[in-house]
Amino acid sequence: MKVAIIGAGIAGLSLAWFLQQNSSTLDISIFDEKERVGGQLYTLEKNGQRYECGPRSLRTKGAGKIILDLIEELGITEEVIEAREESRTRYLVHKGALEPVPSSLYALCSSSLGRMCLKACIKELFIPRGRQDDESVASFFERRFGRSMVSRCIDPLTYGIYGADPHSLSMQSCFGSIYEKEKKFGSVVLGALLSPRQKQSKKQSNVMISFKKGVGFLPQVLASKLCATFHLGTKIDAIVEEASHVLLSSGGKQCAFDALFVAISPQALSTLLPLDQLKAIPQTSLVTVSTGWHDVHALPDAFGFLCPSSEDDKLLGVVFDSRVFPQHNQLFKTRISLMFGGERAPAISCFRDEDLLSLSEDAAIKYLGIKAPFDDAVVFRARDAVARYPVGHAANVDYIEKRLGARITLLGAGFYGVSVGDAIASAKRVATDFLRLQKSDMLI
């Protein structure tokens, strides 16, 4: 069978890998507008320093366990580096200062943020179960934990993950496990206490990993091990599904495939398929400024911090790169990455580099007390980088899936979870379902 994959990001590459590992009868073609593979997972080497253009680390707990499984299959376990244990610590900005997120019972009782969370959790036990099929993240947490929890904790969290306001996000689709705890136990806290704990192997002990050559190493290895035909720098102009095949058009040429897998953003796909529901899944643009100093500057021994909307109208958060992965300290002894934009500042990707660098220097002074100018800085503009799942997203995706023919399948972060682990998991699920259909001759 001839199959096509549109999108050479981690979802499309993982799908090709899972198909290849379980079937020797597929002729796989992979298309992407970019001239490179990897999508948002891209590591830049510049003047002897390594910069992450997208995710700075990979989470290996929960859905992320599949990342470790894939690494083992690829035979690159020795290339993995682990984040420092201290990087489990996170901070939130409160009244212009960094406040640690409580990580122990003592911290819950001894800090103002901890006491607020503890009181909210006790009250949550007595809140009746909600009746909505779906609601916004802000509505859910305000209903169960109070308005202060939303503004102080949930707002920076959703901006840190989705670059989006919690009022515009679906609770069911963005925080499904928490949503299900209320449905099953009537209380999130009770659900957390009563849910069975998953046993974790030693290889899952660290939450975050990277590679010696950076996060972008993973898609590069995947691509190198695929027996597929790559069509990079190729824009698909049209998709037409017919009874026995799917036609892809590009540059005036057409090619027929027995099956098509789509691993691009909903907005990009909406230009190829006439479904208004695809346009209902908006996307967020972000800007990252990665910086470095040759000298050592004092940074908290932590992963970084997030900013609530009430504290900063442009800055979403800062990662202490040199603290998390000191193995990547090549030219610089102190490295941080500053994230701006999202729904909070949607026009920021149009700012000049000089203005973004000025904002970054101001933030380094304000929040970290570092007055020395950067010895180097690189600006990354990630336009339409993250999908925002609005209320009703799950039902919307279900409708889209039913409107597509049997030969077209969706996967990836635009629909089924924005993390790298989610993208790989959706690829494995799609591959398993497709191969089951192929064996039953339903696609022949």
pLDDT digits (tens, 9 = 90+) for 72-123: 999 999 999 999 999 999 999 999 999 999 988 787 888 899 999 999 999 9
pLDDT tens digits, 3-16: 999 999 999 999 99
pLDDT > 80? residue 203: no
The span from the CA of 393 to the CA of 373, in Å, is 44
Query: What is the rounded CA–CA span in Å between residue 333 and residue 291?
Result: 11
Q: List pLDDT tens digits, range 383-421.
A: 989 999 999 999 999 999 999 988 999 999 999 999 999
CA distance to 3, 148, 237, 253, 440, per residue, from 39 (Å): 20, 37, 19, 25, 33
- Is pLDDT of 341 > 60? yes
DSSP letters along 82-104, please? Answer: EPPGGGG-EEEEETTEEEEPP-S
Amino acid at 422: D
Residue 126: Cβ within 10 Å count: 7
What DSSP designation does 9 have?
Answer: B
Note the Cα 235 to chain centre separation in Å: 24
Higher pLDDT, 48 or 263: 263
Helices within 281-419 (DSSP H only): 321-324, 353-368, 393-403, 413-416
> Between residues 268 and 206, which one has the greater pLDDT?
268
| Element holding 441 (H helix, E strand) | none
| Of the candidates 7, 83, 43, 48, the residue with the CA atom closest to the CA atom of residue 380 | 43
Residue 27's beta-bridge partner residues? 2
Pairing of the two strands 49-52 and 43-46: antiparallel
Cα angle for residues 427, 281, 216 (degrees, 5° grid): 45
Band of the pLDDT at 196, cuts 50, 70, 90?
A: confident
pTM for the structure as a whole: 0.94
pLDDT of 62 reads 80
Task: Give phi and psi for 27, each to the nearest 5.
Answer: -105, 105
Domains present along the chain, CATH in parentheses: 2-41+63-74+212-281+390-439 (3.50.50.60), 105-194 (1.10.3110.10)
Q: Is 22 left (phi over 0), alpha (psi -120 to 50) or beta?
A: alpha
Give the angle 414-417-419 at the CA atoms, nearest 5°.
Answer: 105
- Residue percentage of the chain with pLDDT more than 90: 86
Dump pLDDT digits (tens) for 285-324: 999 999 999 999 999 999 999 999 999 999 999 999 999 9
CB-based contact 211:221 (threshold 8 Å): no
User: For all residues of the chain together, what is the average pLDDT?
Assistant: 93
The angle subtended at Cα 403 by Cα 397 and Cα 405, nearest 5°, is 115
Q: What is the C-alpha to C-alpha distance for residues 341 and 163, in angstroms, rounded to an integer? A: 7
**DSSP H or E stretch at residue 384:** strand 376-387
